[in-house]
Structure 1
Amino acid sequence: MAGASNGPSPATPGTPKPTNTNLTVSRGLSDWLRANRTSIAFTSYQTGQLFLVGVTPAGTVSFNQQNFSRAMGVCYQPGRLYLGTSHQIWRLENMLRPGETANQHFDMALIPRNAQTTGDVDVHEVGTDAAGRVIFVNTKYSCLATLDLNHSFRPIWKPGFISKLAPEDRCHLNGMAMDGGTPRYVTAVSRSDSLTGWRERRHEGGVLIEVATDRIVTDQLSMPHSPRVLGDHVLALDSGRGHLIRIDPATGERTDIAFCPGFLRGMSLHNGHALVTVSKPRNGTFAGLALDTALASRDAEAWCGVLIVNLASGDIVEWIKLDGFITELFDVAVMPGVVCPMSIGPDTPEMRSTISFDREISPLS
């Protein structure tokens, strides 16, 4: 993987990936990260990679990348990262003590400490509730679920229009907005209640649902993703049209905030900005959407990358762009207070040899 033009890209241990992808960043990205006191995590399920983006002591942008099979939803809590993958949900922990650094300049070193096996349930977005339980969007079974010690998952909610839990991806439930430590809204591509019924309803009929009441807030969306509560409104990605939008949860009224050149999926909010991932539309599933017309009307090509949108103006103020082999991203999360993070991937020599422990011996009783 080629590094960004203005920052290092540490080599990824483990299974080699194609190297014909170039990462470039906007000129002001390092300043934006420092001014907003955050770093970024984003995922590519296409190539199965977790990317961590920060700023080195020299002021350049750092990319650290590790291989996780079909990396999807990512959720950051202070000192901890949850990552949904092809058949597991990983918990990565920061092994550094206060004041320590790894490899001279990383102020966070995330190590895989647990992998809960769910089976292939098509985990999309991941969050944690007020009690610290992992809540995730189980797309294959059209429900929200949590982890279970004995079973693949424990379902905790499904839309009222879904008649049974079945591995049929009926409505393509995909996004979840946590608010006050509980799931408050979800997005789905349609209200279909049959095997992959959503695929014929990609252009319209996408829904935002209030979890507590099962109320359809709006059904006027096109392939919506990633709802997020912000004040009295809900932000979401109207992906089939290529717009970041604001929704009034009382009326369902939709207001466009920004057009983003690509198929939108993940979103994270920070300091009056929305960080979103965009992908190049895939033939078949994404063909014929309004996004195609919107790009053509602007004489534009679809991007693969991360865009930072000023919510007040709707301007894209900074960006990360991937050109080459990687054409699709999934989720993004901000990591407030972290300057330059790194991680270690599973099944790598580093994972086998990196050992830390509490030096104070705990008594037996």
Structure 2
Amino acid sequence: MSPGFAGFLGANKISVAISSYQSGKFYLLGQNVEGGLLVDERFFRKAMGICVPDQQTLLLATLFQIIKFKNVLEPDQLVNNVFDHCYVPRELFVTGELDAHDVGQLKDGRIIFVNTTHNCLATTSDRHSFTPLWKPPFVSKIVKEDRCHLNGLAMEDGVPRYVTAVSKSDTIDGWRDRRFDGGIVIDVATGEIVIGGLSMPHSPRVYNGKLYVLNSGTGELGWVEPAAKAADAKFHVVAFCPGFVRGLGFHGNFALVGLSKPRYERFEGLALDKKLADADSEPWCGVQVIDLNTGACVHWFRIDGPVGELYDVAVVPGVMRGMSLGFASNEVLGLITHDPLAEGGLA
């Protein structure tokens, strides 16, 4: 961890939520009362996409569930005299194993998520595993075949704006042969490809009027300058990060980028392998804070040990010391809160 990372969180009154699908970890990072780093860690099998619709709500996609957490603390309450927000699972949607990636919340409050196995955007259903809402025009039908590896979702004001996919393939597993330069960003409203030629793009985000994307196969954070034709669109690199970049949040003039190590020693078939060799650098796992003006890494948080891959990174504004409850400990059994007695009772 860089010396100023915890101070950066505290000065900006933010926490950072991080998911690791490989280890099933869900972290909330903040600044503790002594000025150091506070880490809350929970276990959720295959923790994936994170969404922060507001200060009171978190959404998390997992192996076969989408979980909605709500903060149960009032502004003057603390847990263990430390935590100012406590996110408790309050709604849980069983989807089955859909390889859900990014997740968001629509204007009407419904959950929307990337259903990667079925190549579509979907919402939860009271009856079924999911309700499909949209698919790329080049995908011929809703079927359980990961064809294009649809993964990232950019929301703006409760509306899905853009998605990323590794390719525009329409055959099962077709995307795997297109990892080097088959990546695309799609405009959800029109179905048109905004830009192509990317390498395993992830984590599209609309921020301050720009479309940012992580070009994971090259280790680059950048933004897209659209054009009348996708072939003429430009990807402007902001920064190179030493790892497979995936997970992107923003605060002020800073981007918080997630980095992962390779799954099998090398990033085989990706330009990232050569870029790291040229920079005489090893890949690492963690979060880098990038100055959007200069592209410089101004703060960083590194994760060593068995955790080598991250999926998502999200900023939780206004939360200094957040915690969550999971199902792997008894804490969720004992933390009981309730609303006041409703006037009129059952009338």
TM-score interval w.r.t. the shorter chain? over 0.9
Alpha-carbon distance in structure 1 between the residues aligned to 2:159 and 2:136: 16
Match of 1:116 in 2: 93
Contact 1:170 1:192 in 2 (8 A): yes
TM-fit CA distance, 1:231: 3.4
Match of 2:107 in 1: 130
Alpha-carbon distance in structure 2 between the residues aligned to 1:148 and 1:276: 32
Match of 2:11 in 1: 35
Alpha-carbon distance in structure 1 between the residues aligned to 2:9 and 2:328: 31
Alpha-carbon distance in structure 2 between the residues aligned to 1:232 and 1:91: 28
Contact 1:233 1:249 in 2 (8 A): no
TM-fit CA distance, 1:207: 0.3
Task: Give the AA of the match of 1:105.
Answer: V
Match of 1:333 in 2: 314
Pick one of 27, 31, 48 that aligns with 1:55: 31
Match of 2:189 in 1: 212
Deviations 1:233-281 (CA, angstroms, capped at 9, x unpaired): 2100011011001101335211110000000111111111111111001
Match of 2:131 in 1: 154
Match of 1:12 in 2: none
Residue correspondences, number: 341
Matched, 1:282 2:259: no
Match of 1:294 in 2: 275
3-state SS, counterpart of residue 357 of structure 1: coil
TM-fit CA distance, 1:181: 1.6
Pick one of 147, 152, 158 that aligns with 1:181: 158
Pick one of 34, 40, 45 that aligns with 1:69: 45
State which drifts further: 323-332 or 230-239. Answer: 230-239
Over 3 Å counting, the alpha-carbon distance change for 1:284 and 1:296 in structure 2 is: closer
Deviations 1:177-203 (CA, angstroms, capped at 9, x unpaired): 101220011000000001111001100
3-state SS, counterpart of residue 169 of structure 1: coil
Match of 2:214 in 1: 237
Query: What runs of 5+ residues in structure 2 fail to find an aligned partner?
Result: none
State which drifts further: 278-287 or 227-236. Answer: 278-287
Alpha-carbon distance in structure 1 between the residues aligned to 2:266 and 2:121: 23
Deviations 1:309-359 (CA, angstroms, capped at 9, x unpaired): 111110111111011111101101100000000111114211112111123
Pick one of 107, 115, 139 that aligns with 2:84: 107
Over 3 Å counting, the alpha-carbon distance change for 1:358 and 1:232 in structure 2 is: closer
3-state SS, counterpart of residue 277 of structure 2: helix
Contact 1:199 1:285 in 2 (8 A): no
Contact 1:275 1:308 in 2 (8 A): yes
Contact 2:266 2:273 in 1 (8 A): no
Over 3 Å counting, the alpha-carbon distance change for 1:54 and 1:32 in structure 2 is: same
Alpha-carbon distance in structure 2 between the residues aligned to 1:286 and 1:213: 33
3-state SS, counterpart of residue 68 of structure 2: strand
Task: Give the AA of the match of 2:181.
Answer: E
Counting aligned pairs with the same residue, the percent is 47
Alpha-carbon distance in structure 2 between the residues aligned to 1:254 and 1:277: 19
Over 3 Å counting, the alpha-carbon distance change for 1:231 and 1:109 in structure 2 is: closer
Match of 1:303 in 2: 284
Contact 1:234 1:249 in 2 (8 A): no
Q: Alignment RMSD, CA only?
A: 1.3
Deviations 1:159-180 (CA, angstroms, capped at 9, x unpaired): 0000011111100000011012
Contact 2:55 2:319 in 1 (8 A): no
Alpha-carbon distance in structure 1 between the residues aligned to 2:96 and 2:268: 29
Match of 2:346 in 1: 364
Contact 1:176 1:187 in 2 (8 A): yes
Alpha-carbon distance in structure 2 between the residues aligned to 1:307 and 1:145: 31
Deviating above 6 A after TM superposition, structure 1's stretches of 4 or more consecutive aligned residues are none
3-state SS, counterpart of residue 162 of structure 1: coil
Contact 2:103 2:112 in 1 (8 A): yes
Pick one of 322, 325, 329 that aligns with 1:348: 329
Task: Give the AA of the match of 1:356.
Answer: T
TM-score, scaled to structure 2: 0.96
3-state SS, counterpart of residue 304 of structure 2: strand
Match of 1:21 in 2: none
Match of 2:148 in 1: 171
Over 3 Å counting, the alpha-carbon distance change for 1:58 and 1:231 in structure 2 is: closer
- Where in structure 2 are the equivalents of 1:88-107 lying within 5 Å? 88-107=65-84
TM-fit CA distance, 1:230: 2.4
Alpha-carbon distance in structure 2 between the residues aligned to 1:285 and 1:85: 26
Contact 2:9 2:30 in 1 (8 A): yes
